[in-house]
Amino acid sequence: MRLWRLLLRNPSADLGLSVLLIFVIVAALGPALAPFSPYTQDIANTLQPPNTDNWLGTDEFGRDILSRLIVGSRFSLSVGLVSVVVGVAGGLILGGPAGFYRGRLDQMLMLLCDILLAFPGILLALAIVAVLGPGLLNAMLAVGLSSIPIFARLIRAQFLALCESVLVESARAAGASNARIMIRHLLPNSLGPVIVQAILRTGSAILTAATLSFLGLGAQPPEPEWGAMLSSARVYVLVSPHLAISPGVAITIAVIAINLVGDTLRDLLDPRLRDR
């Protein structure tokens, strides 16, 4: 509760949370807020600039861009959330035992993470989605799997530090099993840095998924995902720049809002930064 109060007192966090709340409400309500169907084509009304009927104009098929942005927020935000959940879950499975048991298991798991970290995140995601095949669900899995090494190393570092604490020694003396120590003592005390990294990673996941969709490996037409909208708009960028501006601005605002919240939360949880 104290951390939440400190977060709400920070202007940057307030701005980020407010924008994120708007995006979440828009994504939750989705079609109920869209003035038109995001899929209905109107060939007689193609590439229209912003006007009183279509506030953000229409695309190459005459579909309302505002409606597609509203409905597309559900896809783009879902990609970020699901990808981070996959990354955190995989990081716990690899990093937790590595940090707790150490030894050869630690060496093997961290060698695997080092190999994966040797590839840029987007390149690794591209390789994974190339194996799984194009599609929004596969893009979510690809971005999530590419995030696992990052969370695994973070969780391992937290477990390594906490294993030397009095808390763990007391639990061992009380006869607690290894599983109980990890679940009841190590995991809850490791959540702070993991939550911060998860929030910051959500913004990166949205960008990576948009890149995959832009390349044709993510969401497939006619789904109104923001990256896919950018991909279809590139052909008309000189004729109708509003096609690319709208989804580009939406992605930028969402990622900045997420980063504002994540950076503020990191500063509040880091005593070296908090005391300045």
The string of pLDDT tens digits covering residues 29-41 is: 988 899 999 999 9
- Asked whether 105 and 44 are in contact (CB, 8 A), the reply is no
Q: Is the pLDDT of residue 2 over 70?
A: no
What does the pLDDT average to over 170-190? 83
Determine the average pLDDT of the residues in 111-139: 85
Return the pLDDT at 202: 92
Q: What is the pLDDT of residues 128-168, one digit of tens each?
A: 888 888 888 888 899 998 899 999 999 999 988 888 788 78
Extract the tokens encoding 231. 């991909």
Supply the pLDDT for residue 121.
79
Indicate the range of 58-62, 106-110, 184-188, 266-270 predicted with least confidence: 266-270
- Prior bond of 247 cis (ω within 30°): no
**Amino acid 254: pLDDT:** 94
Percent of the chain with pLDDT over 90: 34
Tell me: pLDDT of 267 over 80. no
Q: 118 or 56: whose pLDDT is higher?
A: 56
Give the chain's mean pLDDT: 87
Which amino acid would we find at residue 223? E
pLDDT of residue 220: 85
Q: What is the pLDDT of residue 4?
A: 67
Reply yes or no on whether the pLDDT at 3 is more than 80. no
Mean pLDDT of 168-197: 84
Tens digits of per-residue pLDDT, 233-253?
A: 988 988 899 999 999 999 999
Q: Give me the CATH code for the 19-28+61-274 domain, please.
A: 1.10.3720.10
Q: How far apart are CA 175 and CA 59, in angstroms?
A: 66
